[in-house]
Amino acid sequence: MSRFALLIATIVSLGTAPALAQEKMTVDMRTLTCSQLTKLGFQDFAGLTMWLSGYYNSSIRNTVVDLAQYAQAATKVKNFCQTNPRATVLSATERALGINLPR
């Protein structure tokens, strides 16, 4: 009976795999524009700003996360992007936060 349940679970998971693959989104952060960033939903925006934070902080070997400071920085980048839709997100982040991202 357990082999039968395993077989059913495998078949069901294979049936849902294409649906999950369609939801996958990949982003080239080098070319992402502010216009594209501001159109994202909350989860995608949060994910991308978390990536930016990790990208920058790893370059300066910072392992501490200040969530209040992170939220303020994300808001600054979003506000900058709303008034500069053609800028890339990487350049907007540098300009809005006064930092240099690694290249």
Unique residue bearing structure tokens 């070997």: 61
Q: What is the pLDDT of residues 9-57, one digit of tens each?
A: 444 444 544 444 446 678 899 999 999 999 999 889 999 999 999 999 9
Architecture of domain 25-97: Orthogonal Bundle (1.10)
Q: Where are the domains of the chain?
A: 25-97
Q: What is the pLDDT of residues 43-54, one digit of tens each?
A: 899 999 999 999
SS3 category, 88: strand
**Secondary structure (H, E, C), 45-56:** HHHHHHHHHHHH
Which residues touch 49 (CB under 8 Å, ≥6 apart)?
70, 73, 74, 77, 78
Unique residue bearing structure tokens 């392992």: 63
Q: Report whether pLDDT(72) > 90.
A: yes
